[in-house]
Amino acid sequence: MRFGPVTSVKMVLPVKIVLTSVLWFVLLAPAVLAAAVQQAPPGQSEYVPIKDLPATEQMPAAPLLIAAYAFAWIAVMFYLFTIWRRLNKVEAEMRVLAQKTARR
């Protein structure tokens, strides 16, 4: 087996990447875990019906549902419009090709 400069670079680069990744993980993991532990919200001891929640914690569903459906329909209509435009371009090119071949 011959070890040249290309072979050694191919072997060193993955090792360097792995060691760098492990170093970053070891250095950053404690900070991330400490931040997650400190920001944990207090737990809820029992079930609270939605009508008993304060107004700031309630989320109206109807406007969000309407917005989601509107976005989905607009996206579908835009997609269909782009397909229609591309199909018209292809049909025009086919007509031009048909005219060129008819002249021959």
pLDDT tier at 30 (50, 70, 90 boundaries)? confident
What would the mean pLDDT of 79-90 be, rounded to a whole number?
95
Q: In angstroms, how far is CA 30 from the centroid of its own chain?
A: 27
Enclosing domain of residue 36: 1-40
Tens digit of each residue's pLDDT (9 = 90 or more) over 33-65: 666 666 545 666 778 787 777 776 666 788 889
**Does 74 reside within a domain?**
yes
Let me know whether 64 and 35 are in one domain: no
Measured in whole angstroms, how far is the alpha carbon of residue 11 from the centre of its chain? 33
pLDDT band at residue 91 using 50, 70 and 90 as cut-offs:
very high
Answer whether residue 96 shows pLDDT above 70.
yes
Residue 76 counted as domain residue? yes
Domain annotation covers residue 80: yes
Instruction: Give the total number of structural domains in the chain.
Output: 2
* DSSP, residue by residue, 4-25: -HHHHHHHHHHHHHHHHHHHHH
Quote the pLDDT of residue 52.
Answer: 76
pLDDT of residue 4: 53
Question: d(Cα 21, Cα 28) in Å, to the nearest integer?
Answer: 10
Q: What is the pLDDT of residue 78?
A: 96
What is the pLDDT at residue 18? 73
Residue 50 lies in a domain: no
